[in-house]
Amino acid sequence: MDFVSILVVFGVVIFSMVLHEMAHAYMAYFLGDTTAKDEGRLSPNPLVHLDPMMSVLVPLLLFMTGGVIFGGAKPVPINTRNLKGGAWGMALVGFAGPLLNVILAFVSFLIGHFTGLMYESGVVALIFQYMVTANLGFFAFNMIPIPPLDGSRILYAIAPDGVRGLMEKMERTTGIFIVLLLVMFFGTALAQVTSTVVMAIWKFFYLIVGIQL
């Protein structure tokens, strides 16, 4: 593991995480809630978004141990009473972050593929490769439907009241600890699942440009 690769991953993680959180904040603002805006979460400043453990340490540790890169950041503050669309509005806010990661991955893939830069050696190639892999990893991880991960917002919108009550309780109490336990004790299995999702989307990207792997 060389220092340059670690710096590249660190830069990609920070950049991708910040845009992910900004996507949540802008969607909430678009749907009528100014809470995130009032707390400065529309800003590109990494310091207002990132969590030292989930945004930096976890992704870097996974990278250094060969796992798929994923992580999280500080939750974007939302006042659901101001949000248009109720639970579906919250689902849109939740999905905005992972969708942004897929868009970043796809744009990076297109630029890297058609310029050939992704297939060269050196730092530039690493940037393109990790922009795709890391962002797809963020998408796969954050779509897990466990509160407070983004996938839980979508599940909440379609779940019956009893399940919603359980999810609300988990988010207030044990949700983040369950996520951390999954990463700590089932990291290998989790990495295998997310790796499968990442590789499937990689293949789909290639299929779009006319290459079948």
Active-site entry in 21, 39, 120, 171: 21
Place of tokens 């779009």: 208
User: 168 catalytic, yes or no?
Assistant: no
Own/partner pairs, 193-199, CB within 8 angstroms, 24+ separation: 193/140, 194/68, 194/70, 194/137, 194/140, 194/141, 195/67, 195/68, 197/136, 197/139, 197/140, 198/68, 198/133, 198/136, 198/137, 198/140
Tokens of 105: 């991955």
Among all residues, which ones are annotated catalytic? 21
